[in-house]
């Protein structure tokens, strides 16, 4: 390891057959369990995730007390447009369609899928949606539209530290 400090946070996941899988992330913030509302597509680990309002069910404070509490669900889909809003975070594991999985949210530092041509490939740029499903774009502060922000770029796509040219290191902080 030499002069490096190991900051990676490992996570273990199990599939329906009991097979154990490992996943790592630079720094873990909030972990949010979501329901994959995609019709037939798996949300892949490392893809940007947004709220799906149509399949989300949140309880309200003003509901009368009942024997059957409402089931709470955070429906989620992959980011799919530059105008995508309602970012939750980055998928921490593969989440099959119609299944529950973990998304790493606010406070997480993670590599996020970024396979599109970038508007601004620079540290400090804002991670936003793109037209490529699950992939982000990065824009300057001047081009940022409220509600369309996943977080701030800490490691650019071409940096050696990210280990490839298909991911960007992002401080997940939706706004």
Higher pLDDT, 123 or 165: 123
Residue 8, phi-psi category: left (phi > 0), alpha (psi -120 to 50), beta (remainder): beta
Average per-residue pLDDT for the chain: 82
**Helix, strand or coil, per DSSP, at residue 55:** helix
Rounded-to-integer distance, Cα 83 and Cα 104, Å: 21
Encode 121-157 in three state secondary structure. CCCCCEEEECCCCCCEEEECHHHCCCCCCCEEEEECC
Which residues lie across from 113 on neighbouring strands? 167
For the residues 141-159, what does the mean pLDDT come to?
81
> Would you say 28 and 108 are in contact if contact means Cβ atoms under 8 Å apart?
yes
For residues 23, 162, 112 and 137, what is the CA-based torsion angle, rounded to 10 degrees?
Answer: -170
DSSP assignment letter at 119: S
pLDDT tens digits along 40-73: 999 998 899 999 999 998 876 666 666 566 678 8
What is the tens place of the pLDDT at every residue in 126-144? 999 998 999 998 888 767 7
């Amino acid at each position: 390891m030499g002069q490096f400090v190991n900051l990676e946070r490992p996570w273990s996941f199990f599939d329906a057959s009991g097979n154990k899988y490992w996943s790592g992330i630079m720094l873990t913030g909030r972990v949010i369990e979501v329901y994959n509302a995609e019709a037939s597509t798996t949300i892949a680990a490392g893809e940007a995730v947004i709220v799906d309002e149509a399949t989300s069910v949140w309880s309200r404070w003003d509901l009368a007390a009942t024997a059957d509490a409402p089931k709470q669900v955070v429906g989620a889909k992959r980011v799919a447009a530059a105008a995508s809003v309602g970012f939750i975070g980055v998928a921490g594991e593969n989440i099959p369609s119609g299944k529950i999985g973990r998304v790493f949210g606010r406070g997480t530092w993670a590599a996020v899928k970024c396979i599109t041509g970038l508007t601004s490939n620079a540290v400090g740029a804002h991670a936003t949606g793109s037209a490529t499903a699950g992939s982000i774009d990065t824009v300057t502060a001047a081009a940022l539209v409220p509600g369309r922000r996943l977080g701030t770029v800490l490691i650019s796509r071409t940096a050696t530290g990210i280990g490839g040219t298909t991911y960007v290191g992002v401080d997940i902080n939706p706004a």
